Amino acid sequence: MTWSKRRFWGVVPGFLGAVALCLCCQTLLHSDEPKRVEWTYAPQQLRPFWEGTVMEGESVLFIKPTPQGEARASVLFPIEEVLSVTNSAGNVTYESGRDYNWKSGSREVTIPAGSRIPCSTPSDLRRP
């Protein structure tokens, strides 16, 4: 064998070992991620919200004016009834009275002390 072929075959096992190590590390890093839920087509998900009477999937950001203050968020339309409140992934359902409060006819949702719903202060939303 020539010198270049010996050098090539001497480097290949090290290179393959490095690739295998990277793949193992990537698998370990992503093993804790939740499984992705496949989206399936449903006509009601693509219906314009102004054509219906139920608002689904409306996102809100709860802001506490001070660390000790009460967190609040506004929705687009006055609330007549709350069907459910979930986290963004949809795998945690929050309870009215325990995790959030609302008043009929109001556009505001408040978060009581001890709620499981995450809240932010204005300083959390600014760059350091």
Name the residue ranges covered by the structural domains of the chain: 1-28, 60-128
Angle at 6 between CA 3 and CA 10, to 5 degrees: 140
H or E element: which one contains 74? strand 71-74
pTM for the model: 0.61
pLDDT at 53: 85
Mean pLDDT by 10 residues, the chain (128 residues): 60 64 61 73 83 86 88 92 91 94 94 92 88
pLDDT at 78 (0 to 100): 92
Q: What angle do CA 17, 20, 24 make, to 5 degrees?
A: 140
Neighbouring-strand partners of residue 109: 73, 102
Query: What is the token pair recorded at 55?
Result: 């608002």
Determine whether 109 is exposed, middle or buried from the number of CB atoms within 10 Å of its CB (0-12, 13-18, 19+).
buried
Q: Is 25 helix (H, G, I), strand (E, B) or coil?
A: helix
Query: Whole-angstrom Cα distance, residue 56 to residue 45?
Result: 8
Query: At 17, which helix (H) or strand (E)?
Result: helix 3-30
**DSSP assignment, residue 68?**
T
pLDDT in the model for residue 5 = 59
